[in-house]
Amino acid sequence: MDASVFHILKKHWGYDSFRHPQDAIIESVLQGNDVLALMPTGGGKSITFQVPALVNEGICLVVSPLIALISDQVENLKNRGIRAISLAGSMVQDDLERLLNNAVLGDYKFLYLSPERLQQETVRYFIKLMKINLIAIDEAHCVSHWGKDFRPAYLECKWLKENFSQVPILALTASATPNVQQDILQQLGIPKAEIIATSLKRPNIAYITHKTDNKWLQLERVLKKNTGTSIVYIRSRNGTVRMAEYLQDIGISATFFHGGLSSEEKNKKLSMWLMDDVQVMVATNAFGMGIDKPDVRTVIHWEIPPTLEDYFQEAGRAGRDGQKSLALLLFNDLDIETTKKQFISNLVTSEDLKLLYVKLNSYFLIAYGEGVGITRSFQLADFCKKYNLQIQKTYNGLQLLDRLSVISLSQNFQKKATIFFVASNYEIIQYLQHKQMFKDIVFYLLRNYPGIHTQAISVRIEKIANKIHKDTENIRQQLSVLQEDGIITYQDDTSDIEITFNMPREDNRTIAFVAKNIKEYNQTKINLQKSVFEYIINNGECKSVQLLRYFGEKDTATCGICSVCKTQNNQKSIDYKQVEEQIIKILHQGSRNLNDLLLLLPFEEKEIQKVLFSMLDMNKIRFNDYNQYALRQ
């Protein structure tokens, strides 16, 4: 590989060499080849397109569906002295054209955009004027009808190959089944692309599926025996709070993380966990993107995950330093039954989507034929209460509308201000003559929010602060004074959902347009969920082998450390006399109940119970008046 490649790597990232298979991917791209790269999360995917893009003259186009990840990558590039730009989020036409024109003139090395942006004629017009040296398609599994996150807007990425046939395309994903891999190549128009993949095998991770009637006790056992950094994944936001409080009550330091927290709260809790101030992060799946803590020793799934892709990615956050780690999935018969029922009841049909879409437009007073580009924030619980909708199914519907590009969905907690100018223009001018310190904020609001004189407008405090170079607290103070002086009405509003309407309101016609994709999407979800249940109940084959085969790796050796391998090994080597000796040693110190013994003994629950039953039969131990195990005198 040319020396300039390593010079760029050293200059901007401080590394002397690449990780495998980064070097193979970069070399192939620099040779002008189309490439499908499969690399696990945390494997350094971004470097594989960022380095070659810096080697060659021109700009790299990066398509990604994850707005938060786009923002992180653009910010990271800027911090490294590399000029990058993002078209993510809502943007007025003038700003859009200005940024695109700057990209055309060569001011930037990277242009990040969503697949929905790529559908816009204005964006396509400017892209055709650019000197593009590389096209990177991140989260490429989204283009596949068989992938877990199919997004029809990704199908438009084929336009890039049709218009830039000589520019190499690098499609990236963390994992994809063989069917999904081939579908990616066809949908992107790169059927002859080189497929470069690193093995997904993680020999240091013990994949454990543990069936138990007492999940809380097992959780306590695992976290007290494995005291290193841990993550517990749970689905509901309230559940993260309750579990973190429970762990603290039993002496395990913990905090929680979910999408309903403010950025400030998220950063605070993340810092506590990264700095090892707490052992456990209890989180929804909102936690993980961009998190690369190498010494996570334990990842626990409290509930059955929706797909093996989700499970494998989240479990893979354990042991990135190569040290022995644990990925534990706790379940019982009720979990399986409940998950199946909830899964079916929460599948979103075309009729469900039609109703949700109409209610969204009614809620925000969107007129028929209008709505394109309008962004609105709201509390999901309030919306569901108003229309008597079930929260989880409504949320699933919003996600589906997002995937189908009818709307763009953001799940981040936000605090916005609603502002309405009640003073006339003459009164405002008179006011500012005496209080010039408010000129910047007043003029900014009047210039950028037409109609703020006739209706209350939602504005983002952080955006205003950034534009007029003041801190957010100062902005809030100024708005409060302006309200006290009778110039505006001002109210802070909180929201946990933000949507942007991507299509004009046409009610049934809008949903009918994407109805075919809804059926395919639901069938794919059913198949993916079925694979999860098959993995959980298959206790006759190594868990690692099962996972790797699902992702297309065959002829892999058993891991020797998963729940299946351990059971098979223990059947041959378990020393029940040793278990009995340790039980006797503990009971010499005093009577104990079953939970105490399970926490204190380093053996599996069924092994301990088997020995206890044997000791009871042989009159070596007894139950006392408090239903505790005690030694016979």
Q: DSSP assignment, residue 592?
A: B
pLDDT greater than 90 at residue 299: yes
Q: Examine the pLDDT at 320 and tell me if it is beyond 90.
A: no
Is the pLDDT at 61 greater than 90, yes or no?
A: yes
Per-residue DSSP letters for 364-379?
TTPPTT--TT-EEEE-
pLDDT tens track for 127-155: 999 999 999 999 899 888 777 777 878 88
In whole angstroms, give the CA distance from residue 146 to residue 184: 10
Angle made by CA atoms 143, 144, 149, in degrees to the nearest 5: 75
How much is the pLDDT for 414?
Answer: 62
Q: Is 334 left (phi over 0), alpha (psi -120 to 50) or beta?
A: alpha
Listing DSSP states for 480-544 in one string gives: HHHHHTTSEEEEEEEESEEEEE-S---THHHHHHTHHHHHHHHHHHHHHHHHHHHHHH--SS-HH
Query: pLDDT per residue over 77-92, tens digit each?
Result: 888 899 999 887 667 7
Q: pLDDT of 489-513, one tens digit each?
A: 988 766 778 888 988 998 888 888 8
Q: Three-state DSSP class for 227? A: coil
Q: Is the pLDDT of residue 572 over 60?
A: no
Average pLDDT over residues 347-371: 92
CA distance linking residue 586 with residue 608, whole number of Å? 13
pLDDT digits (tens, 9 = 90+) for 206-253: 999 999 988 999 999 999 989 999 999 998 888 999 999 999 999 999
The per-residue pLDDT for 571 is: 61
| Helix residue spans in 558-601 (DSSP H) | 563-573, 576-587, 594-600
Q: Which amino acid is at 439?
A: K
Give the number of residues written for the chain.
633
The residue among 449 and 573 whose pLDDT is bigger is 449
Name the pLDDT band for 255 (thresholds 50, 70, 90): very high
Max mean pLDDT among 37-46, 194-203, 275-284, 418-427 falls in 275-284
Neighbour tally for 519: CB within 10 Å: 11
Task: Answer with the residue of higher pLDDT: 32 or 264.
Answer: 32
Instruction: Assess whether pLDDT exceeds 80 at residue 304.
Output: yes
How much is the pLDDT for 554? 83
Helix (H) or strand (E) holding 91: none
Q: How confident is residue 534, by pLDDT bands cut at 50, 70 and 90?
A: very high
Q: d(Cα 100, Cα 122) in Å, to the nearest integer? A: 9
The pLDDT score that the predictor gives to residue 281 is: 96
* Burial grade of 159 (CB within 10 A; 0-12, 13-18, 19 or more): middle
Average pLDDT over residues 165-188: 92
Mean pLDDT over the full length of the chain = 88
The per-residue pLDDT for range 376-424, each reduced to its tens digit, is 888 888 899 999 999 889 988 998 898 888 888 876 656 667 898 999 8
Percent residues over pLDDT 90 in the chain: 44
